[in-house]
Amino acid sequence: MAAPGVAATDLEVVRGKRAALFFAAVAILLGLPLWWKTTETYRAPLPYSQISGLNALQLRLMVPVTVVFTRESVPLDDQEKLPFTVVQEREIPLKYKMKIKCLFQKAYRRALEHEEAALSLGSMQEAETMLAKSQKQAEGSLTVYVISEHSSLLPQDMMSYIGPERTAVVRGIMHREALNIVGHQVIQVAQAMSLTEDVLAAALSDHLPEDKWSSDKRRPLKSSLGYEITFSLLNPDPKSHDVHWDIEGAVQRYVQPFLSALSAVGNFSVDSQILYYAVLGVNPRFDPASSSYYLAAHSLPHVINPVESRLGSSAASLYPVLNFLLYVPELAHSPLYIQDKDGAPVATNAFHSPRWGGIMIYNVDPTVYNASELPVRVEVEMVRVMEVFLAQLRLLFGIAQPQMPPKCLFSGPKSEGLTTWELDQLLWARSVENLATATTTLTSLAQLLGKISNIVIKDDVASEVYSAVAAVQKAAEELASGHLASAFIASQEAVTSSERAFFDPSLLHLLYFPDDQKFAIYIPLFLPMAVPILLSLVKIFLETRKSWKKPEKID
């Protein structure tokens, strides 16, 4: 009676064990994967290793320089060695994670017939126009002509000349080391015309530590696809002044040529407005000595804010806005002058604020008050105003005054106010800045996505990231091979794609799903189901161990 009962109980126990194991198996093999799959956030794969590789990117900026030797510029045996190519490398020391190297690829060759003819002309202007006719130079490249030591093209005391296009002229020398000496001069000229440390440092000012490039250094406008330029005439006293300005003519005559020269950098749109009863935020002080009013340099930062609320944001586009204000002071406060730190009046009566724009104060000629009654009619002299605004525009874009090597003649820009190599400098700077921005954006995006596992990464975000990475790499390659124009375009694409990925709204969808809420939902189901399974597993485990130990004891 007892034996079959025990056997039956044993059978029951075994069946129970099997059932428990089966439950555990179903829960683990079926339940867990199902749960995992259904609650997973979709995360498209991203090129994390490539992005971290971008941080250690070495930028090699290649400046192709063609050095053309005319007859009698260097000794004959040196001329025999032509043509050949020399590459000079120079590291630009910046406290930035990206290592930036500058390569001057100097291709030496002899002058062609028409070049000889052009350089034997009487004046530099004629020679330049003739040379410009024969060839078109790519962005970023330079041509340096080495002329005879006794040529009359340059004044006697000048050693070199830098033109408004991408050409320069260097005086040759009859010497045993002629090629070295000339090569050194060429580098000096090419440095002045292409990449200088200052240009790159200004471009990277956002990414560099504060100590070196503190706020007193100029900060150029951030790189963008386009810019809006707004000229505003502020007339705080329309009862006394009836101010007219021919802004349409002035924009067409002075601003548009400059902007069309700059058109490679971005799209520009220009508009103007007249604001009445717009006053500066600071009360001018009276100076009894000259019976005029003045704004001290330290009070200038407070001038802009109250005016800015009236300027009106640009509703139609997302491009950064550059404001140029022409302020005609009210009758009670005129004439009004800006004083610099030493108390002397500023010659232009204007100041600019980096990344914002410029303000010029335009005093009404006091003699007009005698002639007629109020309001007096004021015609603004646009030449005077536009000179100042264009100079400020150059500064805002980070086009510095060129630093000339010693004994060098600089012709100055043509009528549009910008030399082509200054534009190249701007393109170099903007490309490097764009690359730095894109790299930073991609790195922070990768960090963010790595840190927060709740963020959904959609396929289009991933493809933007991929194209941004590819564009950065392409831009770096193009820079290294000296194709400035395509490098700039690629760098712009990199910035656009990376920002689009970074600011994609789909990243935020599931961001706020904290862990405690997740557990609050899971626990009511999972805890009662998991506890019996775990307990039976532990029990089965203990029993099996006991039954393994038992046979040993019998032995």
Partner 1 sequence: MAAACLRLVWLAPLLLGLVDGGRAEPPRDALREELVITPLPSGDVAATFQFRTRWDSDLQREEVSHYRLFPKALGQLISKYSLRELHLSFTQGFWRTRYWGPPFLQAPSGAELWVWFQDTVTDVDKSWKELSNVLSGIFCASLNFIDSTNTVTPTASFKPLGLANGTDHYFLRYAVLPREVVCTENLTPWKKLLPCSSKAGLSVLLKADRLFHTSYHSQAVHIRPVCRNARCTSISWELRQTLSVVYDAFVTGQGKKDWSLFRMFSRTLTEPCPLASESRVYVDVTSYNQDNETLEVHPTPTTTYQDVTLGTQKTYAVYDLLDTAVINNSRNLNLQFKWKSPPENGYVHYQPAQDRLQPHLLEMLIQLPANSATKVSIQFERALLKWTEYTPDPNHGFYVSPSVLSALVPSMVAAKPVDWEESPLFKSLYPVSDSSSYFVRLYTEPLLVNLPTPDFSMPYNVICLTCTVVAVCYGSFYNLLTRTFHIEEPSTGGLAKWLANLIRRARGVPPL
**137, 167, 230, 467: residue in contact with partner 1 (rule CB under 8 A):** 230
**95, 114, 355, 377: residue in contact with partner 1 (rule CB under 8 A):** 377
**132, 174, 274, 282: residue in contact with partner 1 (rule CB under 8 A):** 274
* Closest CB to partner 1 among residues 155, 249: 249
* Closest CB to partner 1 among residues 384, 518: 518
- Asked if 143 and 68 count as a contact pair (C-beta separation under 8 A), the reply is yes
Of 473, 479, 484, nearest in space to 57 by CA: 473
Size of the site for partner 1 (CB under 8 A): 47
Taking CB under 8 A as the binding criterion, the range among 146-154, 304-312, 355-363, 476-484 that sits at the site for partner 1 is 304-312
Q: Which two tokens stand for residue 518?
A: 């997740």
H helix intervals, 27-134: 32-39, 48-55, 76-80, 113-119, 124-134
**316, 344, 347, 371: residue in contact with partner 1 (rule CB under 8 A):** 316
| Footprint of partner 1 on 510-549 (CB under 8 A) | 520-521, 524-525, 527-529, 532-533, 536
User: Does 251 interact with partner 1 (rule: CB under 8 A)?
Assistant: yes
Residues, the chain: 555
Least distance to partner 1, CB of residue 532, Å: 5
Least distance to partner 1, CB of residue 177, Å: 57
Please give, one letter per residue, the 3-state secondary structure of 253-292. HHHHHHHHHCCCCCEEEEEEEEEECCCCCCCCEEECCCCE
User: Does 314 interact with partner 1 (rule: CB under 8 A)?
Assistant: yes
User: Does 378 interact with partner 1 (rule: CB under 8 A)?
Assistant: no
User: Does 159 interact with partner 1 (rule: CB under 8 A)?
Assistant: no
**88, 105, 151, 272: residue in contact with partner 1 (rule CB under 8 A):** 272
User: Does 244 interact with partner 1 (rule: CB under 8 A)?
Assistant: yes
- What is each CA distance from 526 to 26, 35, 523, 529, in whole angstroms? 14, 11, 5, 5
* Closest CB to partner 1 among residues 139, 330: 330
User: Does 19 interact with partner 1 (rule: CB under 8 A)?
Assistant: yes
User: Does 38 interact with partner 1 (rule: CB under 8 A)?
Assistant: no
User: Would you list the DSSP string of 323-360?
Assistant: EEEEE---GGG-SEEEB-TTSPBPTT-EEEETTTEEEE
Q: How far from the centroid of its chain's Cα atoms is residue 195's Cα?
A: 15
Q: How far from the centroid of its chain's Cα atoms is residue 55's Cα?
A: 16
Question: From CA 378, how far away is CA 91, in angstroms rounded?
Answer: 55
**312, 343, 450, 514: residue in contact with partner 1 (rule CB under 8 A):** 312
Beta bridge partner(s), residue 228: 269, 321
Question: From CA 92, how far away is CA 72, in angstroms rounded?
Answer: 35
**33, 45, 249, 306: residue in contact with partner 1 (rule CB under 8 A):** 249
User: Does 375 interact with partner 1 (rule: CB under 8 A)?
Assistant: yes
User: Does 309 interact with partner 1 (rule: CB under 8 A)?
Assistant: yes
User: Does 16 interact with partner 1 (rule: CB under 8 A)?
Assistant: yes
Residues 6+ apart with CB under 8 A from 34: none
What are the helix and strand counts (H, E) for the chain?
17, 17
Binding residues for partner 1, rule: CB under 8 A, are 9, 12-13, 15-17, 19-20, 23, 230, 238-239, 244, 246-249, 251, 269-274, 276-278, 309-310, 312-317, 375, 377, 520-521, 524-525, 527-529, 532-533, 536
